[in-house]
């Protein structure tokens, strides 16, 4: 693993672990990010403001009136060495998230099936049959970039992005899959809809339901089940963490309400 240190203005620097989307690089980013967080909580990194992880790098922001790049890097040196160690891999949380495929929620499902020479049911099987990794959050609050999807589902983005993609839309593009937490423009192919809210500002400590490093498997549900789950989440009858399953379980049992 080749690590590069890049300046990012006079109050930040970026630690770059590579130039590709890869779970090994993600593990290194996570390991460094968590080590920095532990040291900061212990009061060992004066001047540190925050960190920003991506697919393959971690940007460190600091107060230049309190500390500097070299001072921080000297304290981070042992953490960097540990981050490059494969044993630094952290335990992943596992989720089983319900998705209503096709129809108005997944208006691109039939087109995708035709493109790859499959039936809509086969496309659903390919999407639900692969456990994906949350590489990073971005674009919108709580928006998870997840990969990698099955080889047959690795399609380029739409040539004409949509002006409005409904909240909860489950989509694929470029080998990745995602869930739109909010209505927004978007150029990904829509497969279906997830009724579980991915962002809640009232959860002060962790407003985003998913986090980098989490593992996600999608479980198909009917439109009626999707509506019931959405209503139960909105009323507070169901806590979204209900779909957290660190140990392999019967996914269907965790989807029903």
Task: Classify residue 193 by burial, with Cβ atoms within 10 Å: 0-12, 13-18, 19+.
Answer: buried
| Residue 134, helix vs strand vs coil | strand
Beta bridge partners of 196: none
What is the value of pTM for the model shown? Answer: 0.83
The Cα 165–Cα 75 span in angstroms is: 44
| Residue 209, helix vs strand vs coil | coil
Q: CATH 3.30.1360.40 occupies which residues in the chain? A: 4-88
Q: Hey, which CATH number is domain 94-255, 2.40.100.10, 2.40.160.20, 2.60.40.420, 3.40.50.300?
A: 2.40.100.10
What's the pLDDT score for residue 86?
A: 53
The Cα 17–Cα 184 span in angstroms is: 31
User: How is domain 4-88 classified at the CATH fold level?
Assistant: Gyrase A; domain 2 (3.30.1360)
Q: Which of 194, 179, 94 is nearest to 141 (CA)?
A: 179
C-alpha radius of gyration, the chain, whole number: 20
pLDDT in tens, 4-47: 999 999 999 999 999 998 888 998 998 999 899 999 999 999 99
What's the pLDDT score for residue 41?
A: 93
User: Where do the H-state alpha helices sit in the chain?
Assistant: 23-41, 69-83, 109-116, 120-128, 223-235, 251-255
The Cα 61–Cα 59 span in angstroms is: 7
Q: Which segments of the chain have a pLDDT < 70?
A: 1, 85-91, 246-257
Q: Give the other-Cβ count within 10 Å of 63's Cβ.
A: 12
Q: Name the region of 9 (left: φ>0; alpha: ψ -120 to 50; beta: rest).
A: left
What's the pLDDT score for residue 227?
A: 96
| Beta strand residue intervals within 47-124, DSSP E | 48-53, 57-62, 94-101
CB-facing half-sphere around the CA of 27: CA atoms within 13 A: 14
pLDDT in tens, 170-202: 999 999 999 999 999 999 999 999 999 999 988
Query: Are 26 and 134 a contacting pair, CB within 8 Å?
Result: no
Q: CATH 2.40.100.10 occupies which residues in the chain? A: 94-255
What's the pLDDT score for residue 187?
A: 96
What's the pLDDT score for residue 1?
A: 66
């Amino acid at each position: 693993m080749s690590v590069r240190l890049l300046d990012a203005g006079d109050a930040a620097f970026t630690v770059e672990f590579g130039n590709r989307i890869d779970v090994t690089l993600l593990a290194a980013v996570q390991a460094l990010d968590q080590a920095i967080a532990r040291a900061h909580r212990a009061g060992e990194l004066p001047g540190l403001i925050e960190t920003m992880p991506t697919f393959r790098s971690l940007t460190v922001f600091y107060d230049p009136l309190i500390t500097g790049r070299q001072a921080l890097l000297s304290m981070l040196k042992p953490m960097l060495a540990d981050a490059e160690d494969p044993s630094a891999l952290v335990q992943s949380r596992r989720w089983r998230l319900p998705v209503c495929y096709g129809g108005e929620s997944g208006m691109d499902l039939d087109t995708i099936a035709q493109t790859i020479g499959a039936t809509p049911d086969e496309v659903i099987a390919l999407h639900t049959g692969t456990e994906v990794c949350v590489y990073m959050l971005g674009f919108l609050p709580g928006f998870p970039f997840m990969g990698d999807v099955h080889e047959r589902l690795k399609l380029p983005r739409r040539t004409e992005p949509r002006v409005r993609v409904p909240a909860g839309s489950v989509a694929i593009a470029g080998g990745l899959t995602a869930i739109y937490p909010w209505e927004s423009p978007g150029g990904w192919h829509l497969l279906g809809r997830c009724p579980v809210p991915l962002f809640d500002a009232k959860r002060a400590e962790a407003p985003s339901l998913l986090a980098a490093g989490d593992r996600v498997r999608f479980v198909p549900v009917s439109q009626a089940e999707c509506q019931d789950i959405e209503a139960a989440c909105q009323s507070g009858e169901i806590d979204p963490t209900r779909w957290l399953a660190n140990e392999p379980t019967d996914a269907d049992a965790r989807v029903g309400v």
